[in-house]
Structure 1
Amino acid sequence: MNARAPAQGTSATWGETAAAQHRIDYGERFKYPALALGASVVAAPLELPFAPAVVGIILARAAFPLWKRTLANLKKTGRPNADLLDSLWVLVHGATGETFAPALAICLTETARVLRDLTAITGERRKPDMVPNRQYWIERKGRRRLVLAKDLRKDDHVFLGPGDRVPGDGIVVGGDGLIDEHDLLGGARLVPRTVSDEVYAASLLTQGRLVVAMRRLGAQTRMAQMAETVKERPWKETRISNYMEEIGNRAVLPAIGASALVFAATASLPRAMAPLQLDFAQGIGISAPVPVLASLHHAAQNRILVRSGHALEQLAKVDAVVFDKTGTLTERGVEVGSVETSLSSVSEDELLYWAASASRYVLLPFSAALVAYAEGRGVALTASDPLDYSDSGVVSQVDGYEIIVGTHQFLASHGIPVDAEYHRRHDGVILNRSIRYVARNREVLGAIFVTNALRRESAVTIETLRRMGISCYLLTGDTSKSANAVAYQLGIRPGCTFAEASPWHKVEVLGRLRRKHKAVAYVGDGINDAPAMSHADVAVSFQQATDLARETADVVLLDDGLQGLCYGIETAREAMRLVHQNIVAVTAANIAVVAGGVFFNLGTVSAVVVNNGAALLACLNGMRPLYSGERRDPEIRRTTLRDDEGLLGIPWRKRGRPGVAGAFGGHAGHPGPA
C-alpha cells in the first residue's frame, strides 16, 4: 500500500503542507503506524484473547487518515482513486485478523512520504540578505548618530557616500550621485539621482554623495516585496507524473473487478487481494516528486532558481535557446573601446583630456566610463562645470575652450556637422560600437568609440550549448549591423540571427521556432522581452533583470551569469532521467506483486516489502541530486569564438542583412513598441 497525503488527512496538498512546516514532527507522523506495527509483532506470540481487538483498534487509528481521505475524494470528485484500493486492502486484512502486513505497509509508506517532505523543505531557511546590517550615519530629530540598518526608522535622514548600499526606499533630500540600480530596474547600469528623486533599497551609490529621507524599510521596501515574488514557489507536478497517476486512477475499478473475478474463480481471499495492490499511481505520487524537488533545491543552492516542476520538465526538453542581445549576451554598462583623432596635431591622450575633463562631473553612464578609461591610461584631468548635458552629450568649458562631446545628432544640434559617410561606414560602427565625437571651439578633434561589451561567459555558453545539441539564436531590437557583429563574434549563424525586432515581432519569431523545435527557451532581461518570454516554452532571466522580466521567467539565474543556463539544463535532464527510473521501478514492482499474488500465491508480507520497498528505494534514488556537489562551470579561456576583425572583411557595409520584417517577406506583424 502507498499513500501520499499528509498524515493528518488534511485537504492541503503535500507541497503546501511541507512549505508551511519548518520541521517534521516525527513523533506525530510515526506514532500510530509504529504503534500498530509493534502491537502486531508482540500480540501474535502472546495469544491473549483481547490482543486481536486491541491491535485492530490501533491499526484502524493508523489507517484513519487514509480512509478519511478516500471518502473526501469520492465526495468531492465522484470518482475513485488509488486511495480506495489501499483502503479496501487495509480494511479486509484488518477484518481477517492479519494486522502485521497492513501495519508494515503504513510504516513504509510514511517513511517514503517523510523522505519526500524532507526533500521539499530542504534549503527553505536560506534567504539572501540584500541589505547588510551595517552602521549608517543618520540625522534624527536634529542630531547625528550612528545606527545599524535594522534600527533605522521612517523619516530618518541617511548620509550615503561612494560604495554605500541604500538601506531602504526613500527620497533624495540633498546632494547628487550616480546609483547602480540594476538589481531592481535592469536596463542602464548607472542612473543619476538628485534632490526629489526616489531611490530603492539594495541599490548602490557609486559616485557622489546623497542624503536620503527613509520612507519604507524592511518588509515594506520594493526589494523585499520582489523577494517574495521571486522566492521558490510550491512544487508543481510534472506532466509525466500526472499522466501516470491518471492511468493508475483509471485502473482502480478494473482492479476491483479483477479481484472479484479471481475470488470467484479460486475462492482464495489472499489471491483475490492481490489486484488491490495495483496502486502504482500512489507510488509514483510519492517517488516522482522527490527527484524534481531535489533538483529544484540543488539548482537553487547553485544559484539557479527554477520556479516549478513543470518548468524543470520543459527545461529538460529544450533543444533551442533564443537570446536577446543587450544585457543578455552583452553587458548592461558601456565601456570605451578605442579612440581616434582626426587631426595629426592632437594625440589620443590629449583628446581624452578634453573629453574626460568636460565629462568629469556629469553623472551619466558614458561619462563615468570615459573618465575611468582616461584615468586608467594615466591622463590627468582638470575640473570643469558642465554648461549643458543629456544622455546624448555634454557641453563644458575646459581651460577657456568650449568642449562638446556627443553623438553626431548632438553635435548637429549645436551647429557642428559630422561627415555622414564617415559615421555610417566607419569600422567602429560595423564592430558594434557607438561613436561620441569631440569638438573644441566647434572644430572636431576626433571620436571615441563605446560599446556594450560581450559578457565574458557568452562565448563559452554558446559553445557549451552547441555541444549539448542545442541550437542558438539571436533575436534583438537592435540594428542588423549590431546584431551581426555580436552573432559573428559568438559563432551564431546568420540564418539564426534576427534584428530590428519589436516585442511582437519577437513573438512571431518564437512561434516559428517552436514549430521547428521540441522546446524553445528565451533568455532576456528587459521589459520589451516580456511578451516573447511569455510565449516561450521556458522563459529565462537574471536576478538583475527588470521586475517584469524576472517575474515572467520560469528560470532565474541568480548569479547574473549565462553559464547557469547550461548547468540548469543538465540538472533538469538528470532530474527527468531519475523520474523515469522511479516510474519504471514502481510500476514493475506493482505488476510483479499482482502477478505473484494471483498466479503464485505470493505472501502478503512479501508483497508489502516488494511494493512499498520499491517506492522507498525510488525515493532514495530521487534524492541523489542533493548530494551532487557544487556546480563547476567550464573555464573561460576566451570571450569570443571569432576575432571581431573578421567582420571587416564581410560586405555588410554594402549589403546589410534584413531585419525581422525582411525575414518575414515584408510582413510587419503585430504593431507594438520598439
Structure 2
Amino acid sequence: MSYQVVHSTFGRYRIRIPQLAHDSDFASKLKALVESLVFVTEVRINAQASSLIVSYQDNFCSTTALEKFVSCIQAAADCVEISLTEFLLEGEDLKPEVNQWKDLGFPALSLTLALLAAPLELPPLIVILAIAGAATPWFNRAADSLLNQHQPNIDLLDSAWMTMQTVQGQFIAPALKTVLVEVRRTLRGNTTQTREEQSFNLLNELDRYVWVELEGEEQQIHISNLQQGDRMIVKSGEMILVDGIVVDGYGLIDTQNLTGNSTPIVCSEGQDVFASSILLEGRLCVLVNRIGLNTRAGLAALLAELAPVHDTKIGAFQAEFVTNAILPTLALGGTIYLMTGNIGAAISPYQFDFGSGIPISISTTVLQALIYAVRHGIYIRSGGILEALAHIDAIVFDIDVLALDSPETMEAIAILQSQNIDIYLVSGVPESIALDVATQLGVHPHYVCAEVPFTQKINLIRGLQHQGKTVAFVGDGEDEAVRLACAHVSISFAKTSQIPDPTTDVVILEDDLRGVTHAIAIAKRAMEIIYENTATIVIPNLFMQIGGGMFLGVNPVYNVIVNNGTAFVAEFLNGSRPLFETNFLPPLKSSSQRISQGKSNGKALKQGELAKRLGVSSQSLTSKRLKPEFPIWTQARDPEGIAWNFDPVAKRYRHSPA
C-alpha cells in the first residue's frame, strides 16, 4: 500500500494515500480502524485530496502513533478482519480532547496559584504540583525525543528551565510560560482547523449540479460531467464553480473568496471569471476552462489542505542549528553556574527558544504565499520551490513556448533583465530564426543555443549551475521532463485543463509570460517577510536572554513575555499579513481573453480545413491548439507562413491579416 506522510506535528498527522481517491470501501474501513485507537481524538478523510488527517493526544509517543496508523492502513488495504483489541493500548484513562481550549486548564490553574501563592500563603507544594501538571507535555515530548529518536529537542531546554525556576521558588515565570505557549498552540490549532474547514467547504461547493447550454437548450448536469469548452449558465445569487471566460451576459460579481477584495466588479463578455466568485446580480454564460480541483480556488484549497511548506532550506538550517545548539546551551548554563553560582543567570540561555517561533512563522508565511500565488494564476508546488524562486539569477527559455506576438512577453523579459537575471534562449529551430527572436526580445546573441539536441541544452543548464547560478527552465516538449529535472526550478504553462504534472515545480495557469515575473516577485516578498520574522524573534530574545537574564538579572517573567510576544508577532501578525497591496501584480491574461478581446476579421477555417492546409492530422490540432506555442507551430507548417490561433468561442481557427 502506497502512502506518504506529508505533514506531522505533535498530536497530528496528515498522510496521503492515493487509494482514498477512488476506493470508498477502503476509506470507510480505514476510518473505522483509526477511530478505534484510544489515543486518537479526531479522524477525517479527504478523498479529493487523497488524505487521512488524524489528531491524537499530544502526550502520546509520535513514533508509536505513526506505527499504529500504518498498521491500520495495511489492514484496511488487505481487507482482513482485524481484532480491534490489537490496536487498543493499555491505559483506558486516556481521554480524547475534543476542544483544544481545554488544554489551558492546567496552565491557567498553575498561573492562578502562582499569582496567589504569596498573598494567600499557599503551600509551595500545591503550586509546584500545578506547574508540573501544566508542564507535562514538555516533559513527555523531551522524553519521547530522547528515548525514541535518540536526540535532544528544544523541549529539553524548556523542561530544564521550568524545573530550575520552580525549584528556586520562581513560580510565576514557568506558569506564565505554559499559559502563553498553550494560547499560541490553541490559536494555531484553531486557525489550521478553520482553514481546513474552509477548504473542505469550498471543495464541497465545487461538487454540485449546474446549468449548461446544450444544443440551444438549458439542461442541468453534475459538474463532474462538464468538459472544457462547455457553456455553463450562472444566475443571480449563484456561485461560479468553474474557471472560464464570459461569452454572453453581464453581471456584478463578488471575488472576495478568491482575491480577498471585498469590492464587487462588473463582468461582461470577454472577461475571465474564476471559481468561488459569486454572481451578485445579472446572468452569465461562461465558457468552461477548468473545473473542480483544477480551478484556482480548487488548487488553493488543495494547497491549504496538504500544506507543503516544510521543505525549505532555511527551515532545515534552523532545525539543524537548534538541534546542534541544545547540548552546548546546556553546557553553557553549567559553566556559568560554576563560575558565578547564580542559577538564574545560568539557566537564562535555556530560553533561547528559536525552535518553535521561527519554524512556525516560516510555515505560516510560505503557505500564505503559495495560496496567494495560485489564486493569482501561478501554481507553486512547495515551500522549497518558493524559496528557490527567490534566488533565481538565470532563466533558460525554450523559444517554442514564447508568445512573440504578445506584448506581455516583451514586458516580462524586460522586467527579468532589469532584475539582473540572465536570459538564455534554447531551441531546435535554425540559428537565423533563433537570433531574430533574440534580437526581438533584447537577448544577447551569445546567450542563444539553436539547432542543438536536448542533451546540449541540459549541459547549458548544468554549466550555469556549475557557475553557482540558481537556474530556472521554462519549457515544454517531449524531452521536457529530462531538461526540467536538471534545473533548480522547472516552469511550464498549463497545457490542458487538468492538474499539472507533479514533476513540474511551477505551472503558469495562463499563457502569459508575466506569470514568471509574478512568481519570482511573490517568492522574494515571502522571503523578505521570513527574514523580518526571524529578526523579530532573534534580536529581542538575544538582548533579553544575554543582556537581561545573564548580566542584569532581569525578572524571568519579562523573558517569558519577550520570548512568546515576539513569536506571536511573527506568527500571527507579520507572518499572516497580505504579501502585497491590492493590484500590485497585474492580472494574467488567458489566451481566450486575448482572442475575445481582439478577434481578427481575417480568414476563419474549420479544423479539417486547417489540418489539410498544414498537412497534419486533425488530432494533432486538437492536442496542440490550446498550447501557447501553437501559432509558431502552425506558422512553420503553413505554406504562406501564416500563424493561426484557435478561437474556443467560435470553434474556428483564425489569423491576423498582415
Q: What TM-score do you get using the length of structure 2 for normalisation?
A: 0.58
1:77-96 equivalences in 2 (<5 Å): 77-96=149-168
Q: Partner residue of 1:615? A: 567
* Aligned counterpart in structure 2 of residue 319 of structure 1, from 382, 393, 403: 393
Kept in 2, the 8 Å contact 1:262–1:271? The answer is yes
* Aligned counterpart in structure 2 of residue 544 of structure 1, from 459, 470, 495: 495
1:440-451 equivalences in 2 (<5 Å): none
* Aligned counterpart in structure 2 of residue 244 of structure 1, from 313, 318, 340: 318
User: Counterpart of 2:425 in 1: which secondary structure?
Assistant: strand
Please give the alpha-carbon distance, in whole angstroms, between the structure 1 residues aligned to 2:402 and 2:432.
Answer: 15
Show CA shifts across 1:293-351 (max 9, x none): 3322322332222222211111110011111222x212xxxxxxxxxxxxxxxxxxxxx
* Aligned counterpart in structure 2 of residue 532 of structure 1, from 463, 483, 496: 483
Show CA shifts across 1:245-284 (max 9, x none): 3222222122222222322333333222212223333332
User: Counterpart of 1:61 in 2: which secondary structure?
Assistant: helix
CA apart distance, 1:97:
4.1
The answer to whether the aligner puts 1:134 opposite 2:210 as a matched pair is yes
What residue identity is the alignment partner of 2:494? Q
Q: Partner residue of 2:369? A: 295
The answer to whether the aligner puts 1:10 opposite 2:11 as a matched pair is yes
Kept in 1, the 8 Å contact 2:208–2:223? The answer is no
Please give the alpha-carbon distance, in whole angstroms, between the structure 2 residues aligned to 1:161 and 1:280.
Answer: 49
User: Counterpart of 2:356 in 1: which secondary structure?
Assistant: helix
Query: Cα distance 1:14–1:477, how it changes in 2: closer, same or farther (>3 A)?
Result: same
* Aligned counterpart in structure 1 of residue 529 of structure 2, from 571, 578, 597: 578
1:206-605 equivalences in 2 (<5 Å): 233-326=307-400, 328-330=401-403, 454-544=405-495, 550-595=501-546, 596-605=548-557
Query: Cα distance 1:14–1:112, how it changes in 2: closer, same or farther (>3 A)?
Result: farther
Kept in 1, the 8 Å contact 2:357–2:571? The answer is no
What residue identity is the alignment partner of 1:329? L
Kept in 1, the 8 Å contact 2:526–2:579? The answer is no
What residue identity is the alignment partner of 2:211? Q
CA apart distance, 1:455:
3.6
* Aligned counterpart in structure 2 of residue 106 of structure 1, from 166, 178, 202: 178
Query: Cα distance 1:121–1:533, how it changes in 2: closer, same or farther (>3 A)?
Result: farther
Show CA shifts across 1:188-209 (max 9, x none): xxxxxxxxxxxxxxx9899xxx
CA apart distance, 1:563:
1.3
User: Counterpart of 2:490 in 1: which secondary structure?
Assistant: strand
Please give the alpha-carbon distance, in whole angstroms, between the structure 2 residues aligned to 1:499 and 1:507.
Answer: 13
Please give the alpha-carbon distance, in whole angstroms, between the structure 2 residues aligned to 1:305 and 1:227.
Answer: 12
Unpaired stretches in structure 1, ≥5 consecutive residues: 1-5, 140-144, 166-202, 207-216, 331-452, 640-674
Show CA shifts across 1:553-612 (max 9, x none): 222223342212212212211222222233233233333233222222121101112222
User: Counterpart of 2:443 in 1: which secondary structure?
Assistant: coil
CA apart distance, 1:71:
1.2
Please give the alpha-carbon distance, in whole angstroms, between the structure 1 residues aligned to 2:302 and 2:8.
Answer: 29
User: Counterpart of 2:571 in 1: which secondary structure?
Assistant: helix
Show CA shifts across 1:483-532 (max 9, x none): 33332222222212222343333212211122235211111243422211
Kept in 1, the 8 Å contact 2:390–2:521? The answer is yes
User: Counterpart of 2:456 in 1: which secondary structure?
Assistant: helix
What residue identity is the alignment partner of 2:158? D
Please give the alpha-carbon distance, in whole angstroms, between the structure 1 residues aligned to 2:191 and 2:415.
Answer: 30
Kept in 1, the 8 Å contact 2:311–2:384? The answer is yes
* Aligned counterpart in structure 2 of residue 67 of structure 1, from 139, 149, 155: 139
Kept in 2, the 8 Å contact 1:115–1:619? The answer is no
Query: Cα distance 1:577–1:21, how it changes in 2: closer, same or farther (>3 A)?
Result: farther
Kept in 2, the 8 Å contact 1:297–1:626? The answer is no
Kept in 2, the 8 Å contact 1:15–1:120? The answer is no
Please give the alpha-carbon distance, in whole angstroms, between the structure 1 residues aligned to 2:435 and 2:472.
Answer: 21
Query: Cα distance 1:625–1:559, how it changes in 2: closer, same or farther (>3 A)?
Result: farther
CA apart distance, 1:475:
1.6
Q: Partner residue of 2:114? A: 40
State the identity %. Answer: 30
User: Counterpart of 1:279 in 2: which secondary structure?
Assistant: coil
Please give the alpha-carbon distance, in whole angstroms, between the structure 2 residues aligned to 1:71 and 1:522.
Answer: 46
Query: Cα distance 1:95–1:303, how it changes in 2: closer, same or farther (>3 A)?
Result: farther
Answer with 1 or 2: which has the greater Rg: 1
* Alignment: residue pair count: 451
Higher normalized contact order (CA 8 Å, seq sep 6+, divided by chain length): 1
User: Counterpart of 1:149 in 2: which secondary structure?
Assistant: strand
Q: Partner residue of 1:445? A: none
Please give the alpha-carbon distance, in whole angstroms, between the structure 2 residues aligned to 1:266 and 1:273.
Answer: 12
Please give the alpha-carbon distance, in whole angstroms, between the structure 2 residues aligned to 1:610 and 1:471.
Answer: 44
Please give the alpha-carbon distance, in whole angstroms, between the structure 2 residues aligned to 1:39 and 1:164.
Answer: 67
Q: What TM-score do you get using the length of structure 1 for normalisation?
A: 0.57
Query: Cα distance 1:10–1:115, how it changes in 2: closer, same or farther (>3 A)?
Result: closer
1:150-189 equivalences in 2 (<5 Å): 150=222, 163-164=230-231
CA apart distance, 1:625:
4.6
Kept in 1, the 8 Å contact 2:330–2:350? The answer is yes
Kept in 2, the 8 Å contact 1:14–1:117? The answer is no
Query: Cα distance 1:609–1:36, how it changes in 2: closer, same or farther (>3 A)?
Result: same
Please give the alpha-carbon distance, in whole angstroms, between the structure 1 residues aligned to 2:292 and 2:379.
Answer: 23
Deviates more, 1:40-49 or 1:60-69: 40-49
Kept in 2, the 8 Å contact 1:66–1:83? The answer is yes
Kept in 1, the 8 Å contact 2:308–2:383? The answer is no
Show CA shifts across 1:430-471 (max 9, x none): xxxxxxxxxxxxxxxxxxxxxxx6344111100111112211
What residue identity is the alignment partner of 2:562? V
User: Counterpart of 2:562 in 1: which secondary structure?
Assistant: helix
